[in-house]
Amino acid sequence: MAYFIVDSIIKSIDNSLTAADVHGIATGMLCVNIKTSPSRWLADFILPDTQLSAQHQQILEHLFLGTQRLLISSDGDFNLLLPNDDAPLSEQVIALRSWCQGFLYGVGATTTSATILSKEATEIFKDMTEITRLDNDVEGNDDEAAFTEIYEYLRSVVILLCLEFNQPKVTATYSQYLH
């Protein structure tokens, strides 16, 4: 799905958000609970009095359900929704920061105070927080290579987090010890 199509829909709803923000929110929510519904996600950033056209709602729901499907898939086809490679690198970095902010928000909106994070998950969240502080004054091959490395890191850790949060929790009950 084209970043700029989703971005124009989002800008018509809330000019302070981008497609990267809302895709990050969706991904964060889904990583914590893969069964999160599109309506729960939409309610997180659409004001109650905002009217979405049926076409815009369908596009956003398609984005959400597609993200859900890719996170469940074992193909490794999950991608962050960011501007295309032909966009200026500074624009891609800004979107990457926004995506991470949205992701962290989505995780926070879906977890509870009882959620126990692994050491690895805690480190990943620290890394994402650092990514939200990246400088967008970038140019050249070294910065492009660093951007690509960060992008690939995020793709892989999102899958790891999704697996960690959504794997069935094995708990031993008292009755298991009696047998």
**CATH 1.20.120.740 matches 3-168:** yes
Amino acid at 1: M
pLDDT score of 171: 44
The whole-number average pLDDT for the span 13-38 is: 94
How far apart CA 66 and CA 137 sit, in angstroms, is 32
Task: Render pLDDT for 117-149 as a digit per residue (tens, 0 to 9).
Answer: 889 999 999 999 999 999 888 877 888 999 999
CA distances (Å), origin 137, targets 15, 95, 117, 132, 133: 23, 13, 34, 14, 12
Indicate the pTM of the whole model: 0.89
Q: What are the domain boundaries of the chain?
A: 3-168
